[in-house]
Structure 1
Amino acid sequence: MSLNSNIHFSKDQLWNDYDSTGTIADKKIPWVLRNIPPDVKSILDVGCGNGIITNVLNESYQVKGVDLSEAALKQVNCSTVQSSSDNIPLESESADMVFSSQLLEHLTDEQLAGTVKEFKRLAAKYLLITVPHKEFLKICEAKCPSCGHVFNTNGHYQTFDIHRLEQLFGDEYKLVRHDLGGNLHRGYHPALMHIRQNYGNRYFNPPNYTMCPHCNNDSFPLIKGNLISKVCNGLNRVIAPKSPYWILTLFRKKL
């Protein structure tokens, strides 16, 4: 996660409008609750954001939220720690379960390696992790109109499937179960994306609160499609399937 990403996530309005579609409240929270093992009493929620899930967990468990954004933590109802995920100032095995929702994809390779170590250190029994499933990062790439920098508008650096998650955690934790969930999202064929971006000069129109990580520009006027982009999009709708956006994994510490 870049310094400019930290600036982006420090904005109060971003967190006030978080989950405006209700997808997390309606689909993710019940899904997460169903997958918490019955012997869990305490949970460390790393990358808790504004507590949309954390506050619900706190109704039934002893919960501590961890996030780098002070603005996000203002809305968390339980005990919190303001910290990066790769160096959390807590004792080892601080909670029965470490929970993380939509965090790992935002980390650089170095931050991811440190965060994986922290998850393993801090969990006494379980890891419950959700991330985007097989995300094609170029789908959400935008080009900054100010400096020309191309970047993922979600601030995502990593993509995951079950095999990569097992590679990251499987040395010390055994996979108990995994599941796919969330809204269906259509992928994009890499060759068509190459044509759309490089010959059609057509990138993703960013959502509100997008900030260029290179120059901090936050003004992105709507750009209409052209013939090349429309042809690519049409072909893609024919050949690219839809699949659930999230993957959930539950790992248990090996004896």
Structure 2
Amino acid sequence: MFDLARSRASEREQLRIADLMSLTPPGDRVLEIGARDCYLSRRLSDLYREVVALDLQRPVVDHPGIVPVQGDVTDLRFGDGTFDTVFCTEVLEHVPPEKLVRACDEIERTTSRYAVIGVPYRQDLRADRTLCRRCGTVNPATGHLNRFDRRRLEALFPRMRVVEARLTGQGRAVTNPLSVWLFRLCGYPYGSYDQEEGCIRCGAPLERPKIGPGRWALCFVARTLNRMQFYLYGRRRPIWIHLLFEKCDSAAPAAPVASSRPHSVR
């Protein structure tokens, strides 16, 4: 079973969070989209007077300056420019592709100045697929429906400019056509079944299928190929891309950003 507290405490997750916090400029009001347990909302409360913590289900939190609300990134119930910053990380990869442009438009509309965006970087969506035993849907790992790089993110936020872009973390599951074919043949028994997300189609919890010796042998070949690919290439791949956007029509001087590490990211 997925353990969010354990995931938060991992070295990789702490690296991601530290990078996001150092990228985020201070201000008065911030909207965090996808707040979940409000772990990051608490961190943001050190930078903002008021943090609005939004998720599909209203977060449960009792912390000064944090206002929990129920909402959807594709239909934000706030006026134009309500927040100094909109903070949206580990969310856009889950948005159905047909709603992605709408979600990004809502982020642009509700911020008066900045948007902090964090998503997986050039993720191989074929890796770690799962199979729903209820409806038969093949799911991408952790329900990720979209693949991003800097160019695509800039296209999704046409009325904003990139102040800073960072690539963070090392290593991400990679795969190849032969491994994908073998895993499909065996029913995807080695996918990310310990994830928090259910089936992208019916919402059912995902259960790892049991396999016999023949399928195990085929999967052993597929996993060996993936390991070889990872050691040759995957360890050098960043996991996330983090971008600080600013509205193009913003006239105020830029706020300082701590631990700035500018570099070219595509």
TM-score when scaled to structure 1? 0.82
Say if 1:188 and 1:236, in contact at 8 Å, map to a contact too: yes
Aligned to 2:42: 55
- Determine the C-alpha separation between the residues in 1 that align with 2:202 and 2:77: 32
Instruction: Write out aligned runs for 1:178-217 (5 A).
Output: 178-189=165-176, 191-203=177-189, 204-207=191-194, 209-217=196-204
* Residues 159-208 of structure 1 deviation map (CA, whole Å, 9 limit, x = unaligned): 11111101111x2111111111135223212x123322343443415005
Partner secondary structure for residue 188 of structure 2: coil
Q: How does 1:1-255 map to 2 (within 5 A)?
A: 17-21=3-7, 22-23=9-10, 26-37=14-25, 40-62=27-49, 63-70=51-58, 73-75=59-61, 77=63, 78-169=66-157, 171-189=158-176, 191-203=177-189, 204-207=191-194, 209-218=196-205, 220-221=207-208, 223=210, 226-240=216-230, 241-242=233-234, 243-255=237-249
Structure 1: which amino acid aligns with 2:199?
Answer: C
Instruction: Give the Å deviation of 1:149.
Output: 2.2
Aligned-pair distance for 1:154?
Answer: 1.4
Gaps of at least 5 residues in structure 2 are 250-266
Residue 140 of structure 1, CA deviation: 2.9
Cα distance 1:174–1:147, how it changes in 2: closer, same or farther (>3 A)?
closer
What is the CA distance between 1:113 and its match in structure 2?
A: 1.6
Q: 2 CA distance for matches of 1:252 and 1:223? A: 49
Cα distance per residue 1:199-237 (max 9 Å; x no partner)? 344341500555334455436145356222211221232
Work out whether residues 136 and 188 of structure 1, in 8 Å CA contact, stay in contact via their aligned partners in 2: yes
Cα RMSD (Å) of the superposition?
A: 2.4
- Cα 1:232–1:19 change in 2 (3 A) is same
Structure 1 pair 185/76, CA: closer, same or farther in 2 (3 Å)?
A: farther
Query: Which AA in structure 2 matches 1:176?
Result: V
Corresponding residue of 1:5: none
Q: Distance in 2 between matches of 1:107 and 1:207?
A: 21
Q: Structure 1 197/183 Cα, relative in aligned 2: closer, same or farther at 3 Å?
A: same
Aligned mates of 1:166, 1:116 — CA distance in 2: 10
Letter of the 1:194 partner, please give it: V
Q: 1:233 to 1:25 in 2, by over 3 A?
A: closer
| Runs of 5+ consecutive residues of structure 1 not aligned to the other structure | 1-12
In structure 1, C-alpha distance between the alignment counterparts of 2:173 and 2:126, rounded to whole Å: 13
**Cα 1:193–1:129 shift into 2, 3 Å:** same
Q: State the one-letter code of the partner of 1:179.
A: R
Query: Percentage identity across aligned positions?
Result: 24
Count of paired positions = 236
Contact 1:45 1:66 in 2 (8 A): yes
The code of the aligned residue for 2:109 comes to R
Give the deviation of 1:248 after TM superposition: 0.3
